[in-house]
Amino acid sequence: MTYPYAQSPEKLSTLLAQLFRHISPQRRLQFVLMIALTLTTSVAEVVSLGAVVPFIGILTEPERVFNLPILSRYIQWMGITTPSDLVLPLAVAFSVAAIVAAVLRLLLLWVSIRLSNVTGADLSVEVYRKTLYQPYLVHVARSSSEIISGITQKVTAATSVLTSLITVATSSILFIAILLSLFLIDPYIATVAMVCFGTGYGLIAWKTRIRLKRNSQCIAQQQTQVVKTLQEGLGAIRDVLLDGTQSTYTNIFRNSIQQLQKSTGENQCITLGPRYVMEALGMIMVAIFAYSLSKHQGGIGAALPILGALALGAQRLMPLLQQLYGNWSVVAGSQATLKDVLALLDQSLPNHIHEPQPKPISFKKEARFESVCFRYSMEGPWILKDISLSIPKGARIGFVGKTGSGKSTILDLFMRLLEPTCGQIIVDGNPLTEENTRSWQLVIAHVPQQIYLSDATIAENIAFGVAPNEIDHELVRNAAEQAQLTDLIEGSLDGYNTVVGERGVRLSGGQRQRIGIARALYKKAQILIFDEATSALDTDTENSVMAAIENLNRNLTILMVAHRLSTLQNCDLIVQLESGQISAQGLSPAIGTAQGKWL
């Protein structure tokens, strides 16, 4: 997935630095506190590991431990006179150190998982927020499946990267602390163990890095393809059932999901597999160390405390090494997905987002198109050319023309969803600019051909986008009456609380369009835009919807796009478009019978 407005960094370190810039200051502070907890846990680990030597020593050679200078002062202070009396205090101390270390590690585990998950949630919200604020032109230029995949699957992958980075940081600190403890006990053995294990994991990481990168690219691509296939197959379920194309969509989905799972599975094997090899190597090394120490003076009895400490240290180090390697592989295996998420996080925001809600423009006289032209890109064809048109307040303006003549584009420009390539739109003598776009859009309501209805109540769909506890039910009733929805609502058992089903499946086409009209009226807009709002309806239903529109307040300015001239028969002005230009305008008879060839 690529975006023309996003950076595309290649280096993993650059990606990670870019990701941390998107983390809020509050979360960064929490990361610092977590590192402090990690340092505390490291101290507890060192203490618990350091207690092994005297504890095993008192069990095997109590007299030797009793005479150690470092312990003799504490032994005398506690009033202990015989070596056997040391067993219980050291056992208690060893147990307390182990319990404290375990509790701190559990706390650190909970904090790290919790912090990575809430940070991931923050990133998901930020991606969704920035996506919703993107200009309409950006949404037109890209696939919704890319966005859905990015917000759901790919942000989850970015969250796993955060979790892995946190684990790498905490594991590294704990690893260094335990390794230093082992160096204090026996530098030679600790060095040999570190070189063997470090070299082993280093070689594995070097050999698998290319495969991880290749799999990460496949995962990022197939995550989007899986969502795209699901959307297309389920979204066109009528055509799928009628055409019998279930096997086609199933095969496309099977191919994508198999590639996705194969790459994911390979990365998991690369992540988890080395653990078992290294555990076997660790057992062999313990046996070698035991044999080597048994040959020293004092035999195996004298070496047992050191061997026990080394065995316990290795038992702690092995999982940490595996965590370091495993989480590094997760980060490396998510590089392509992370790039996609960062592209979404780097989306720019409009200037007005940080400003208070402006007041709506007071539309009093007229809006004018003055020599407006539009095309989607500098290399693309002209969609509109030299459009000049006056729209008086309270007028009913109809637009007709062939498909592709520019009818819907005129409405998008009027609503400031698109900006003119040249020319300008003037409202009551003032040109529309980026600064007053939001004020202008607040006076406009849009009724498209396909009304989006959520699986909620009629009242919630009329007050669409308003929290249920903030709905003005009196305004909902007034809007429903003006849109002639009273019969539908009164005929329903639950009235305004009737659930319409997903996308309004329980309603007829005319009822859905009336809810769209009521939604526009709930907004208390001064201008209503109908973009082929009745083209999918039968004649009788269209007539009833048009009657509802005709009965609206005459102070409302209405712009309508239609294919049939009869739909616009009550308009004050009909504008004919052809090849992106106004070819005729006037009342219905003035347009003439020349339209019969395409209307």
pTM: 0.67
Q: What are 22's two structure tokens?
A: 């998107």
Distance CA 406, CA 398 (A): 13
Residue 457 β-bridge partners: 499
Residue 65's nearest CA partner among 76, 53, 77 is: 53
Report the CATH fold assignment for 366-597: Rossmann fold (3.40.50)
Query: Could you identify the residue written with the tokens 């197959």?
Result: 233
Task: Name every residue whose Cβ is closer than 8 Å to that of residue 492 and which is 6 or more positions away in sequence.
Answer: 458, 498
Please list, in sequence order, all residues whose beta carbon lies within 8 angstroms of the beta carbon of residue 427, skipping any fewer than 6 positions away: 361, 363, 366, 367, 368, 440
Half-sphere exposure of 44 (CA within 13 A, CB side): 20
- Which residues of the chain are in CATH 3.40.50.300 domains? 366-597
d(C-alpha 442, C-alpha 527), whole Å: 9
* pLDDT digit string (tens) for the chain, length 599 residues: 443 333 344 577 787 788 888 888 888 888 888 888 877 877 776 666 555 555 555 555 555 555 555 556 666 666 666 656 666 666 777 677 778 877 887 888 788 778 877 887 788 888 888 888 888 888 777 777 777 777 776 777 777 777 777 777 777 777 777 777 667 666 766 677 677 777 777 777 777 777 777 877 787 777 777 777 776 676 666 556 666 777 777 888 788 878 877 887 777 677 666 666 666 666 676 666 666 656 655 555 555 555 555 565 565 666 667 677 777 777 777 777 778 788 888 888 877 777 777 888 888 888 999 999 999 888 888 999 999 999 998 888 999 888 888 888 999 999 998 899 999 999 988 998 888 888 898 888 888 877 778 778 888 888 887 888 888 888 888 888 887 777 777 777 778 787 777 666 677 777 787 888 888 888 888 898 888 776 666 677 677 777 777 777 778 888 988 777 777 878 888 898 888 888 888 875 445 443 433 33
| 3-class secondary-structure state, position 234 | helix
Residues of the chain with CATH 1.20.1560.10: 13-345
**Which segments within 354-497 are labelled E, that is strand?**
366-374, 384-392, 396-401, 422-427, 430-431, 444-447
- The helix (H) or strand (E) run that includes residue 584 is strand 581-586
Instruction: Look at the domain 13-345 and name its fold.
Output: ABC transporter transmembrane region fold (1.20.1560)
Per-position b or e across 227-259, b if 16+ CB within 10 A of its CB: bbbbeebeeeeeebeeeeeeeebeebbeebeeb
